[in-house]
Amino acid sequence: MIAVASDHGGLELKNAILAFLRDQQIDCADLGTDGTASVDYPDYAEKVARAVTAGVAQAGILICGTGIGMSIAANKIPGIRAALVHDEFTAQMAAEHNDANILVMGGRVLAAEQAVRLVDVWLTSRYEGGRHQQRLDKIAALE
């Protein structure tokens, strides 16, 4: 299952991403927010990050206005590797090099169709392991 959440700044992209995942018959859960009212992005970053570290979700997707706040907040949770991506290259690298377990995007940065494309690239790219694993191990040691 992929856990998806946004704040008010990412609502439109969240809805587009959920529609894409459902269309692809990829199991997903909408963890909010549900409307355009202003909310605090750390609350949603925590929901998705905890779902991932608990194993309830295999991966997560977070969207706020820029993606910056969501990535800062999610990366506070041990075991989370949240990657803020802007284009196909960074979405691919987030999977292949960083084994990112949460993808983060900016709702005021990307068009919905581009965000959906980045989700597709991330989901269809595979972690390469090898020399990257020792780097992930060093990140884990920082925790």
Of 3, 9, 11, 105, the one binding ligand RB5 by CB under 6 A: 9
CB of 8 to ligand RB5, least distance (A): 7
Task: For the CB of residue 61, give the shortest distance to ligand RB5 in the complex, in Å.
Answer: 15
Determine, following the binding rule CB under 6 A, whether residue 42 of this chain makes contact with ligand RB5: no
The catalytic residue among 8, 86, 97, 132 is: 97
Among 7, 16, 33, 85, binds ligand RB5 (CB under 6 A): 7
Q: Among residue numbers 57 through 96, which ones bind ligand RB5 (CB under 6 A)?
A: 64-66, 68-69
Q: Is 28 one of the catalytic residues?
A: no
- Is residue 64 part of the annotated active site? The answer reads yes
Q: Which of 109, 106, 98 is nearest to 75 (CA)?
A: 98
The residues binding ligand RB5 (CB under 6 A) are 7, 9, 41, 64-66, 68-69
Residues with catalytic function: 64, 97
